[in-house]
Amino acid sequence: MSDSVQILMCPPHHYDVDYVINPWMEGNVHRSSREQAQEQWNKLYQVLKTYATVTLVDPQIGWPDMVFTANAGLVLENTVVLSRFFHTERQGEEPHFQAWFEAQGHTVHTLPKSLPFEGAGDALLDRAGQWLWAGYGFRSELDSHPYLAKWLGVEVLSLRLVDQRFYHLDTCFCPLTDGYLLYYPPAFDTYSNHLIELRVPVEKRIPVDEVDAVNFACNSVNVDRVVIMNQASAGLKRALGDRGFTIVETPLGEFLKAGGAAKCLTLRMTEPRRASPQASTVQSRTIHLEGHLLDSGLVNRALDLIVSGGGSFQVLNFNLGEQRQDPSAAEVKVSAPDAAVMADIMGQLIDLGAMAVAEESVPAQLAAVTQSGVAPDDFYVTTIYPTEVRVGNQWIKVVGQRMDGAIAITPGSDGGSDSDSNGGSDGVPVARCQLLRDLQAGESVVVGSDGIRTLRSAPSLKKNSTEEFGFMGAGVSSERRVELVVEQIAWDLRRIRDRGGKVVVTAGPVVIHTGGSEHLTRLIREGYVHGLLGGNAIAVHDIEQSMMGTSLGVDMQRGTSVHGGHRHHLKAINTIRRCGSIAQAVEQGILTSGVMYECVKNKVPFSLAGSIRDDGPLPDTKMDLIEAQADYARLIEGADLILMLSTMLHSIGVGNMTPAGVKMVCVDINPAVVTKLSDRGSVESIGVVTDVGLFLSLLVKQLSKLTGQYAQV
Ligand code: ARG
C-alpha cells in the first residue's frame, strides 16, 4: 500500500525567511539557519522514504518558499489545479511548478488571474468520504472552489479560516485514514465547525489543543496508520495511539519560522479519484450599491458584513462621485459557501440598501401561509426602511412599514370596490407589512431575498450640524451641548405644531419623579403633544402626585418620604377605579391636574400598556398586550416626531413599530438606553443623555423664548 503513495518535495537549498506573509514569519526574517533547515529536511525526507516514494522538484534561486510543495497545486490522478498565489512574494513559483507538472504529463488547469488558490495547502481530500475540504479566508478565494469541483469532479466543502496563525487549511486540519480527522476547531468559524461535525462523526474527530496546534501537529503527513509530524504532546500521542495510529516525530523548527511543517513540505501526487458528484455549494451574486457610500460608511459596512457572515467579495467596479454631493455607485460580487449563508448575507445587504443586480427583473418569491399566524420558513423579515418588492413586472411599495414583520402580498382586485379584498384596485397588488400573528392562511408572503429593495435616505449634507445636534453619547454631553440639542428640538416642535403635524410622547414614571410633570403638562396644554404612550406607572404616579403631592410616597416639594406614603399610589389607583376611568375621574372633578388630566382636557389620546409588575391596574391600562400594541401603532401613525422620555420598554416597543423617516428624540440618564434607541442607522435619531426633568424644563423654557420671538415678528 505504502508503495503506491507518491510524494513531491523540494530540497531547501534556497530556503530562507526573506519576507513576511504570515504571522510566523514576523521577527524571523533571515533568522533561520540553512544548515539546520537542510538537516531537518533530510530527516523528514528519510522518514518519508520509508513510507512512500518521494520525487523531487528542482529548487529555484529567489523563491525561498518553494520548499513548501503543498502549495504547488492540487493533484487528483492526472489532473492538476495549479496554484495562484495570493502574495506576489510567491507568484514566481507558479511557472516552475507548472513546467514540472506538465513534464510529468499532467493536465494542468490554471485559474483566472485574480482568483487566488494555494493548492493542497488549502484543499485536502477526505480519507473516507469522497469529498474535498477546501479552505478560504486568508489565501485561497472562495470563488476558486467551484472550479475545483468542475475540474476535479469532486464535491467541495468550503471551510472558513478565522485565525490568521492558521492561514492555510493544512495548518489546522488533517484528514486521516479511515475517516479520522485531526483538527483545531477554533481555527474555523461556527458555520464551518458545524459542517465538519455534520460530515465527520464525533468518534472520528480528534480535536487538538492550542499547544499542539501551534506546534503544527495538524500539519502532518499521514500514510496508512502512520502520522508524521513536527511534535506531539503526550495527550495527542495517546489520543492517536488509542485509535491505532503511530506518531513519528521529526523536528522542523527551522520551517516553523516560515509558517510551515511536515505537510507543507510535501505534495501528495497519488490521490485517487473516487466516484463523487462534482459539486460545490458555493453561490455567487452581484449586488449594486448606490448613494453616499464613502461618507456614510456604507461600503465598509457592506463588505464587513459579507466577511463576518462567512462570505467573500470582489469589488467589480466603483464609481466615486466627483463632488461631495454626488452619489457613488459600486458593484460587488458576493460569494458564500452555500445557499443558506448566501440568503442570510443577502438579507442583511438588502437591509443596508443594496440591490441584487440580476434581480432587477426577477420577481420576489412568494410562499403561501399554511397556518394562520405562522409565516413560511425563510420569510423576509422587514426593517424600518422603506421597502419595495417586485411583483409581476413592477416594483410595489410596501405599506405599513415597520420592523420585524413579514411582507404579505394581496393580489389587486379588477377595479370596482370588492369590499373584502385588501388588494389595490386596477389590478395592482398590495404589499403590506404584517405581524406574524396577523397572517392568514392562504395569504402570500415574500420569502428569500429576490426582488426586494430597501431605500436608505442619503445622509444629510449638513453633516456638521447634524453631528452637533446628533447623538450625545456616553454621558459626556456637556451642558452647553444639551442646550444646543434642546434648541434644535424646540425649533422642530414649534414648526411641527404650526403646520399641524404630529408629535407623540412616550413617557416613563421617571418624568414624574424628576419633577418633569409641570413641564410635560404645559407642552400638552400648549398643543405640542398629539398622543401619549406609556404604561400603568406613569399614569399612577402622575395621579398620585396630583391628588396627594407625592410620587411613590415621596413629597415632591421637599423630597422626603411622607409617613404612610408608600400606600399613596394604591390609593390613587383605587380612586380612579371607583370613578371607572381616568376620563371619568376628570369629569367628576376628582382628578384636577397633572399629565393625564391635561390629556383628557385637551383631547390628547393616550394609551397605557400593562405589564406583569403593574399594581391595580388603572381601568385604562390595557393588560391585553396584543391590544395595547395595536393601540400604540394606531397612535403613532403619521407621527412626525416621537419624544421618548425615560422609558426603555415602551420606547423600544414604539421604535419597532415606527418606520424610518420619523424623527426620534430619546432622552435618558442612562447612556446605554440612549444608544440602544437612537442607533437606528438613520440620521433622524437624536439621543440626549441627561436628567429628563431637567431636559423638559429646558425645553419648555426654550419654547417660550421661541414663542416670544415669534410674537415680536
Ligand atoms: N511561508 C509560506 C507561506 O506563507 C509557508 C507555506 C506553508 N505551506 C502550507 N501548506 N501551509 O506561504
Residue 385: predicted pLDDT: 86
What would the grid cell of residue 94 be?
507558479
Choose one of 28, 168, 170 to mutate for the ligand 1 pocket test, by most ligand atoms within 8 angstroms of C-beta: 168
Give me the CATH number covering residue 344: 3.30.70.2690
For residue 578, name the pLDDT band (cuts at 50, 70, 90).
Answer: very high
121 lines ligand 1 (CB under 6 A): yes
Residue 346 scores a pLDDT above 70: yes
Beta bridge partners of residue 446, listed in sequence order: 366
| Residue spans of alpha helices (H) in 329-372 | 339-351
Contact (CB, 8 A) for 604 and 572: no
Indicate if ligand 1 lies below 6 Å from the C-beta of 259: yes
Query: Tens digit of pLDDT for each residue in 219-275?
Result: 999 999 999 999 999 999 999 999 999 999 999 999 999 999 999 999 999 987 776
Cα 88 to ligand 1 centroid, rounded to whole Å: 13
Residues 369 and 501 grouped into a single domain = no
How confident is the model at residue 475, as a pLDDT?
37
Supply 504's cell numbers: 407623540
Is 71 close to ligand 1, i.e. is its CB under 6 Å away? yes
Could you check whether the bond before residue 201 is cis, i.e. omega within 30 degrees of 0?
no
Q: What is the pLDDT of residue 360?
A: 60
Q: What is the CATH number of the domain that holds 608?
A: 3.40.50.10690
Express each pLDDT in 497-549 by its tens digit: 999 999 999 999 999 999 999 999 999 999 999 999 999 999 999 999 999 98
Residues 159, 120, single domain; the answer is yes
Give residue 179's pLDDT.
93
pLDDT band of residue 474 (cuts 50, 70, 90) is very low
pTM: 0.68
- Map grid coordinates 424644563 to a residue: 697
Going from the Cα of 214 to the center of ligand 1, the distance in angstroms, rounded, reads: 14
Segment 186-201 mean pLDDT: 92
Residue 456 belongs to a domain: no
User: Which residue has better confidence, 564 or 613?
Assistant: 613
Catalytic one of 168, 292, 541, 650: 168
Q: Residue 467: pLDDT above 60?
A: no
Residue 135 has pLDDT above 70, yes or no: yes
Asked whether residue 358 falls in the same domain as residue 369, the answer is: no
Note whether residue 465 is domain-resident.
no
Give yes or no for residue 117 having a pLDDT over 50. yes
Distance of alpha carbon 528 from alpha carbon 530, whole angstroms = 7
- Top mean pLDDT of 109-118, 126-135, 562-571 is at 109-118
Report whether residue 258 contacts ligand 1, using a CB cutoff of 6 Å: yes
Number of H helices, E strands in the chain: 22, 35
Residue 53, domain CATH: 3.75.10.10
Same domain, 708 and 615: yes
Domain boundary residue among 327, 362, 397? 362
**By C-alpha distance, which of 593, 506, 505, 578 is closest to 544?**
593
531 and 552 both lie in a single domain: yes
How many domains does the chain fold into? 4
Query: Which atom of ligand 1 is closest in space to residue 260's alpha carbon?
Result: 7
**Structural domain contains residue 703:** yes
Tell me, yes or no, if 168 is annotated catalytic: yes
**What pLDDT is recorded for position 422?**
53
User: Does a structural domain hold residue 1?
Assistant: no
Residue 463 forms part of a structural domain: no
Cα–Cα dist 425/417, whole Å: 7
Which atom of ligand 1 has the smallest separation from the CA of 21?
A: 4
Asked whether residue 345 falls in the same domain as residue 389, the answer is no
Which of 16, 22, 69, 75 is the pocket-test mutation for ligand 1 (most atoms within 8 Å of CB)? Answer: 22
Of 362, 386, 408, the last residue of a domain is: 362
Q: What tens digit of pLDDT does each residue of 638-674 get?
A: 999 999 999 999 999 999 899 888 999 999 998 888 8
Regarding whether 303 and 184 lie in a shared domain, the answer is no
Question: Across residues 390-417, what is the average pLDDT?
Answer: 85
Report how far ligand 1's centroid is from the alpha carbon of 258 (Å).
Answer: 7
pLDDT greater than 60 at residue 471: no
Q: 11: helix, coil or strand?
A: coil
Ligand 1 pocket mutation, candidates 20, 44, 264, 265, criterion most atoms within 8 A of CB: 264
Ligand 1 centre from 307 Cα, in Å? Answer: 23
SS3 label, residue 19: coil
Q: What percent of the chain has pLDDT over 70?
A: 92
- 168 Cβ inside 6 Å of ligand 1: yes
Out of 49-58, 97-106, 385-394, 489-498, least confident range: 385-394
Residue 168 banded pLDDT, cuts 50, 70, 90:
very high
Res. 713 pLDDT band, cuts 50 70 90: very low
Instruction: Give the residue, out of 14, 16, 17, 68, with the most ligand 1 atoms within 8 A of its beta carbon, to mutate for a pocket test.
Output: 68
Q: To the nearest whole number, what is the mean pLDDT of the chain?
A: 89
Decide whether any atom of ligand 1 lies within 6 Å of the 70 Cβ.
yes
Q: How confident is the model at residue 693 (pLDDT cuts 50, 70, 90)?
A: very high
Report which DSSP code applies to 215: T
Looking at residue 275, its pLDDT comes to: 64
Would you say the CB of residue 376 lies under 6 angstroms from ligand 1? no
Whether residue 468 is predicted with pLDDT greater than 60 in this model: the reply is no
Same domain (yes/no): 82, 218? yes
List own/partner pairs for 360-364 with CB under 8 A and 24 or more apart. Answer: 361/390, 361/393, 362/390, 362/450, 362/451, 363/390, 363/391, 363/392, 363/393, 363/450, 363/451, 364/389, 364/390, 364/391, 364/407, 364/409, 364/446, 364/448, 364/450, 364/451, 364/452
- Which atom of ligand 1 is least distant from the CA of 17? 1
Tell whether the model's pLDDT for residue 350 goes beyond 50: yes
Q: How far apart are CA 352 and CA 370, in angstroms?
A: 30
User: Does ligand 1 come within 6 angstroms of the Cβ of 69?
Assistant: no
- The enclosing domain of 385 has a CATH number of 2.40.420.10
Query: With 70 as the cut, is the pLDDT of residue 415 above it?
Result: no
What residue numbers bound the domain in which 442 lies? Answer: 365-449
- Is 580 inside a domain boundary? yes
pLDDT at residue number 359? 53
User: Does a structural domain hold residue 459?
Assistant: no
- For residue 272, how many other CB atoms are within 10 A of its CB? 8
Highest mean pLDDT among 139-143, 307-311, 361-365, 420-424: 139-143
Nearest to residue 133, comparing CAs of 114, 115, 148?
148
- Alpha carbon distance, N-terminus to C-terminus of the chain: 100
546 and 516 share one domain: yes
Q: Which atom of ligand 1 is nearest to the CA of 219?
A: 11
- 583 and 503 within one domain: yes
Instruction: State which of 326, 343, 362 marks the end of a domain.
Output: 362
- Residues with Cβ within 8 Å of residue 173, at least 6 apart in sequence: 124, 133, 135, 159, 181, 182, 183, 184, 187, 218
- What percent helix, strand, coil does the chain show, rounded to 5? 40, 25, 40
**pLDDT band per the 50, 70, 90 thresholds, residue 358:** low
Q: Which of 174, 264, 433, 599 is catalytic?
A: 264
CA 104 – ligand 1 centroid, Å = 24
Question: Is the C-beta atom of 448 inside 6 A of ligand 1?
Answer: no
Q: Over 90: is that where the pLDDT of 325 sits?
A: no
Could you tell me if 489 and 394 lie in one domain? no
Q: How confident is the model at residue 176 (pLDDT cuts 50, 70, 90)?
A: very high
Identify which of 151-165, 202-216, 292-306, 325-339 has the greatest average pLDDT: 202-216
Rounded to the nearest angstrom, the distance between the alpha carbon of 164 and the centre of ligand 1 is: 12
The predicted pLDDT at position 683 comes to: 54
Among the listed ranges 199-208, 493-502, 610-619, 660-669, which one has the minimum average pLDDT value? 660-669
- Cα of 280 from ligand 1 centre, angstroms: 25
The DSSP element (H or E) to which 512 belongs, if any, is helix 510-513
In a domain, 457, yes or no: no
Q: What is the pLDDT of residues 366-389, one digit of tens each?
A: 999 999 999 998 899 998 888 999
Residue 73 in contact with ligand 1 by CB distance below 6 A: no
Residues 665 and 703 in one domain: yes
CA of 100 to the centre of ligand 1 (A): 19
What pLDDT is stored for residue 383 in this prediction?
87
Which residues are registered as beta bridge partners of 274? none
Q: Which residues contact 29 (CB under 8 A, 6 or more apart)?
A: 17, 18, 19, 20
Asked if residue 640 has its Cβ within 6 Å of ligand 1, the reply is no
Asked whether the predicted pLDDT for residue 708 surpasses 80, the reply is no
- Dump pLDDT digits (tens) for 51-64: 999 999 999 999 99
**If pLDDT is split at 50, 70 and 90, which confidence band does 477 have?**
low
